[in-house]
A = this chain, B = another copy of it.
């Protein structure tokens, strides 16, 4: 009974005494009667529920205190394979699912109780059988990292993979991605793959698939619907729009931010509505312009990580800027206060950074709104020192864009021009 992963105390005892194990097909009699596969729990999950995967593919949590009995009605593995095998329909549009890791891909294998760090195509079909009715999915595991561990090297690898299939017959691409840094990755792909001819979606989930409220399946289904139906290209982050399951938002990959640690609707388009909303079988469009400002596909898949994001605050020590100069940084994106300000105490270090040839860009820590550096003296002083105001670009996006610009330019003037040109709806 070592397989009862995550179940503790009296629930574990109850399961053992009834001779059921994770992966078994069971029938639970409670206020209603449920049949499904007993799922493991994460250690940190709440301890009052037993989780079943129903035939529909959805998981449900059943309150332990209300359970009258549990019966094993079938063995796990063979049962699942026969009941869940999905036929591929070759006439449907093809999409590619690239898995990079994260909660969405760290689903618990209910046959073994082990955490599998990446989805295979067949596992995806098992988890979300609806997708097979919409598209014909190929799947590939690129890596299996929680997204806090994804680095710019990983962005390059994803971009190269996408570049290699630019001419393929896929209708679009789903990148399964951890939510922590999904908006950084989407920004990089937006710049590096300017003009890419197929829609690209990054899909994550805020609640893992062994939790009753998991958003993984609905986000994947919505992304699939979007990819096979849209005529638009671009890079989009596809996540719940609100706490209900009715509407899934497709956010512009350069205008999106994770604004809540745990809500399913954590991702929001800054200062605007999501570009698209998948609502039942409809796709609502909120944008007028194309995502990419240029039609031609022009991949520029390189970057330089010697770019710092500096959030100014009272008491900020200008010696930190001096340290960046010593570390031979090539650019600083400031998260200034308000309309794009930093205190006078920073001026000497900023002049020194400029003299050392750094590109200096200004964004606002307010997140929403645009910098405007001509209103107050302090802004004008900073303009005089050569700081470039970056309009309403989100600081994180400005950071990624600066890494990309520095990696693709030879001179500071080129970097400045690139930073100020609107390539991928970043302004």
Chain A residues in the interface with B (C-beta under 8 A): 42, 44, 146-152, 154-155, 178-181, 184-185, 258-263, 266, 305-309, 311-315, 317, 319-320, 323-324, 326-327, 335-345, 364-372, 374-378, 396, 399, 403
Contacts and interface: CB of A to CB of B under 8 A. Distances in A.
A35 B371 CA distance: 35
Given A308-B320, A323-B320, A369-B266, A148 B342 contact: yes
B315 A305 contact: yes
A258 B338 contact: yes
Contact of A313 (B262, B319, B399): B399
A364 B261 contact: yes
A311 B391 CA distance: 21
Q: State the number of copies, please.
A: 2
Contact of A260 (B311, B336, B369): B369
A278 B399 CA distance: 40
Contact of A343 (B151, B185, B309, B326): B151
Contacts of A148: 312, 336-338, 341-343, 378
A396 B372 CA distance: 22
A323 B322 CA distance: 10
14 contacts: A44-B374, A147-B338, A148-B336, A148-B341, A148-B343, A149-B344, A149-B345, A180-B338, A180-B341, A184-B313, A259-B368, A309-B313, A320-B320, A320-B324
A309 B311 contact: yes
The 6 closest A-B pairs by CB, nearest first: A261-B369, A180-B337, A148-B341, A323-B323, A180-B338, A305-B315
